Every structure is written in C-alpha cells, then in structure tokens.
Amino acid sequence: MLIAHTVAQRLPGLRPLIAAMLVAAGTFATAQSAFAVGPEAWPLWADGAPHAQGTDESDTPTIRAYLPQELDGVKATGAGVVICPGGGYGILAMDHEGHQLAKWFQKNGVAGFVLRYRHAPKYRHPVPMEDAQRAIRYVRANSEKLGVDAGRVGIMGFSAGGHLSSTVATHFDAGNPEAKDVVDRQSCRPDFAVLCYPVVSLTAPYAHQGSGRNLFGPDVDQEKLESLSNEKHVTAETPPTFLFHTAEDKGVDAQNSIAFFLALRKAGVPSEMHIYQDGPHGVGMAPADPAVFGWKDRLLDWMRGSGFLSATSRAAVTGTVKVNGEALRWGMIALAPLDPNKPRAWAMVSHGKYSIPASRGAALGENVVEIYDLGSVEPRPTREDFARIDPNGALRLNVVAGKNEFDLDLTQ
C-alpha cells in the first residue's frame, strides 16, 4: 500500500489503474480469506457437545479433514494426525499451527484433522481435553471411511495446543464398550504424539501461567495445576513422542520439551527431540529459516522409522559380515525395504557381528542390504574414509516374522 501511494504521487496518470489494482487485490484477498477455512467442518458430537453453553460456532467443537488424494499422485499411508492449534487456551492459531500443517501432511500421504476445540473465556478444563479425546475417538470410529488405520492415529499440538496434546497423551482411557454412541466405544489414547514448542508444565518456574489461568480460571489452586503438569504424568503407556522447540523461545521455555523428553526417557517410551538454536515462539512451519524449516522433515523421518507410515510388522535380525573371508572390524549394516514408507533398520557391525532388536527391526518382506566399512580401529593414527562395500542394491534379503539370522561374506 505504501509503495502504491508513493508511485501514485509521482505518476498521477497511473492513479486510476493503481486504484483498480488495489480494489482487485482487496477482492482477491477477501476471496482467499473466504476459502481459507479449508474443508467442511464436521461436528464431533451430532446432537450437541457436552458442557455446551449455546449453539454458536464457539460452542461446537469440530474437525476439518485433509485426506490424501490419489488423483494427485499421493499414496495414502494410512496414518492420521489430529492437529491442535495453539493460542494459550484463549484463541486458536488455525492457520500456521493448523491448516498449513494439515495440507503438508496431506501432500505426504498422511490424513490431517484440524481440531477446533473449545477454550476460555467460555470454557475451562476438562472441556478442551474432552474435545481432543473425542477427536481421537471420532477418527478411529470412522477410520474405514476416512482411509485411516485405527492403530496409527496420532495427536499433534503447538504451544498450548502442545499442552493439550501432552494432556491427551498422558490422560486417556480404552473407551466404553457398552456405550450407545459408537464413537465413545473407541480408545482415546493416541498411537503417537507430536509436541511443537509445547506448554507442558503448569507448576515449574518456567511454566506458562497464562495457559493455567485460562484452563482453570484466575483462582486456580496448586493441586489442579499439578494434575495437568504433564511431565509428572508420563508412564510406560504414554505413546511414542516427537518434540520440537527453539532455544530462543521466550514465550514458552524449551525446558518444557526437555522435561517431557526426560520423563519419556525415564519411562522407557521411544522419543525424539530437536531443539534449534534460533527462532522465537510461534514459528509454525518456519519457512523463513532453512534449518528450522527442516523440523517437519525430521518428523516425517521419525514417523517412518517408528513404523507409523506403514502397517508392516518388524522382526529381529542378527548375523555376521565378512569381507574376503575376514570379519568386518567396524562398520554398519542397513536393511532398506522396497516400499519407502516402511521403516529402515540398521545396526553397527563390530568384529563382524551385528544385531537389530525387533523393537526397531527390519520390515517383513524383501529388503535391500547396504553395508559400510567405517575404517580401521587401530592403536595408531589412520586416515580412511567410510565406504559402501555391498554390490549396490544387488544384495537382497527376505525378512520373515520371528528371528532372522543372516551371515554375509562379501568378495572384493
């Protein structure tokens, strides 16, 4: 607008054209905003949500489904993610912490479900939690229609939405098999969780106090805050979790992610955390920073490696590697499935032996074998580059359920 005004001052003859351009731009922007809401919103409760104080949009929790489209050449993986935008439990950042991620998931074969949950000042705990739990149940109950595997439904959240997601990941039930509503019969435990610069603690010195006030009201007591300080409620049943944060974040301290990660580690829950040096709070996908922008690719790697992008089973693999009859001193072996969405398995090779446990084992079926020599390990200085020493994709192994043992002898 400032540039257009300056040009119009200098070139009066262009004023009508510039005015027309600005009107057209405004019309386009209005049209864009009119369609920016995405797919149709589906109410989570057909007959009205519990605790509803009215029938307005703010009283009706919904999800919008972004389903992979085969016509776009995208292969649906069967995975689904309920996405909880942030906003301190007072507003919802639906675009950069909701729809943009859902569209990215959609392009990568994952169904994204953007949740519009109820929040302050009209609604307090447990309403947001129950809305998110209902969204998990809803996707599972309709999994066949949605093209989603009911055993690969995760939850994702940003900031306060990350707190909501960590709440659902630590507070869940198996559903009520006697319920009349088929949705209520489903478990609300997510199969995995993705926490993006999340609020986690409501009691630590670094806690986000605004989220606590909006959840419980201005006169909240310590016991209630403790009940949703989710780093204190991690158990072995908490689902595998991916965390992303920035060290520069002053809105929600990265110690929230660190505390949750350490709790997951103590409980033996598979987890991965990425903390980037730069970036303030609320970066979303962070398109302006190539380093931080990569967090979503690390997420996809983690989902693939954890087996959430395919329905395949995994199996333990052990064996030996020799080169020209001699045990490979120090190297690596990888088993790469033909389907790129299936998890890749790998292990170190030491003195010719390797072992891959079933928990991160090879995908069943045919796998391409990759073997790397990492160089000498000697009590003297050596200067050797690592080298791939298998016959470039020609070596393949068929992995079956149970234990697999493969003894390999390469000739060079």
Tell me the pLDDT band of 412, cut-offs 50, 70 and 90.
Answer: confident
Is the confidence at residue 25, as pLDDT, over 50? no
Residue 150 confidence (pLDDT) above 70: yes
Instruction: Tell me the average pLDDT across 105-127.
Output: 97
From 262, 287, 305, give the residue that closes a domain. Answer: 305
Both 276 and 358 in one domain: the answer is no
Segment 116-135 shows an average pLDDT of 98
* CATH number, residue 322: 2.60.40.1120
Least confident of 5-9, 12-16, 49-53, 97-101: 5-9
Shared-domain flag, residues 274 and 180: yes
For 214-223, the pLDDT digits (tens) are 999 999 999 9
| Among the ranges given (10-24, 106-120, 173-187, 396-410), the one the predictor scored with the smallest mean pLDDT | 10-24
Which residue, 276, 305, 334, sits at the end of a domain?
Answer: 305
Average pLDDT of the chain, as a whole number: 91
* Distance between CA atoms of residues 84 and 228, nearest Å: 17
Partners of 371 in the β-ladder:
333
Kindly state whether residues 164 and 251 are assigned to the same domain. yes
Both 164 and 63 in a single domain? yes
Residue 293 in contact with residue 322, Cβ under 8 Å? no
Q: Are residues 363 and 277 in the same domain?
A: no
Same domain, 184 and 288: yes
Verify that 337 and 199 share a domain, yes or no.
no
The SS3 assignment for 55 reads coil
CATH for 130: 3.40.50.1820
- Split into its structural domains, the chain has a count of 3
Same domain, 219 and 172: yes
My answer on whether 48 and 108 are in the same domain is yes
Do 49 and 25 share a structural domain?
A: no
Distances (CA, A) of 411 to 213, 322, 395: 68, 9, 12
Q: Are residues 124 and 270 in the same domain?
A: yes
Burial grade of 228 (CB within 10 A; 0-12, 13-18, 19 or more): buried
Whether pLDDT at 319 is above 90: yes
pLDDT tens digits, 258-270: 999 999 999 999 9
Across the range 387-398, mean pLDDT stands at 92
| Residue 78 identity | G
Domain limits for position 12: 2-33
- Domain boundary among the residues 288, 305, 322 is at 305
In the chain, the percentage of residues whose pLDDT exceeds 70 is: 90
Question: How distant, in Å, are the alpha carbons of 21, 25, 27, 113, 195 from that of 18?
Answer: 5, 10, 14, 41, 45
Q: Is residue 340 located within the same domain as residue 252?
A: no
The predicted model scores a pTM of 0.89
**Helix (H) or strand (E) segment spanning residue 166:** helix 160-170
